[in-house]
Amino acid sequence: MRRLDAPALLFVAIWTSGYVVGSIAAKAAPPLAVTFWRILIAAALLGGLSALRGSRWPRDLRTIGWLAATGVLLFALQFGGIYIGLSSGMPAGTSALIVSCCPLVVAITQAVLGWEQLGRTQWIGAALGMAGVVLALLDRISQPSSIQPVMWTLLGLAGFAIGTVLYQRHQPRDVDPRVIASIQCGAACVVLAPWALLHGGLGIPFTHQALGATSWLTFINAVGGPLIFYFLVRTRGATRTSSLLFIVPATTAIASWPVLGQPLGLTAVAGLVVAGAGVTLIQRRPQTQARQPATLATRPEPVRS
């Protein structure tokens, strides 16, 4: 990353706030209930905004099918797996460490499938990024009581990584990102609704903490998060975008000090420096594409703002 650009900073800030505010929400309400309602409201808001702006909605069933599939992976499996893991006893630091492996999973998957090739500098950057994550969480990693929380968290990681790869491969370039996010969120809600009913129900307490955290996670994370994520994947690729996640554990540890009262260790600051160096190497130059991703659109069209 040659410079700290606004989209990258916004991505890191939104993802960091998701962990911090998510910790508040998980204590104030059933986590899957918060996830379901924030994604459902986001789907309605994004869909309504798209309709007001006259955005074109896809009618091709293949396009809609791919959007729905990636939505289930990115929103239902990712968050469902992570939150069920946390509620089953997965320590937060260990969960963050596992989820932060996403850039490596994406890079390896892209390389194995021949969709994207990384140079030696990028692989060194990925190794540094992962080392920075471990360093940042060194004093917060602990072992879960059983294998079940690990499996749920790995399910969340798989949903995030596979969804990211498939979205880059099948992104419809002539569809408004707001429409894309609305369809994906709607598909995720179909899966999340029964899942939430089995894990704490769909009710959210009418408390300041619960409503405030849900509102933030809805408007900032569920609405703003997908839009900046899709913009970065479209313009920079899946590997370079997901590499920004290496920085998130350290920034989360730093932000948790004033917000959650969790003491800040020097390892978090050191981890941020190391992870930042890794991300810089990964983003130094565009990756060489072994094969251009096949998209559902034959020619790009400008997105109506």
Tell me the C-alpha distance between 115 and 235, whole Å.
Answer: 16
Q: What is the DSSP code (8-state) at residue 205? A: -
pLDDT score at 302? 41
Tell me the C-alpha distance between 175 and 179, whole Å.
Answer: 7
Distance of CA 199 to the CA centre of its chain: 22
Distance of CA 92 to the CA centre of its chain: 16
pLDDT score at 296? 44
Tell me the C-alpha distance between 86 and 89, whole Å.
Answer: 5
pLDDT score at 293? 46
The percent helix, strand, coil of the chain (3-state, each to 5) is 75, 0, 25
pLDDT score at 183? 95
pLDDT score at 30? 87
pLDDT along the chain (305 residues), means of 10: 73 87 81 91 93 90 93 93 80 76 84 76 82 76 77 91 89 87 95 91 90 91 89 86 85 79 74 80 58 43 40
pLDDT score at 75? 93
pLDDT score at 291? 45
pLDDT score at 294? 44
pLDDT score at 110? 82
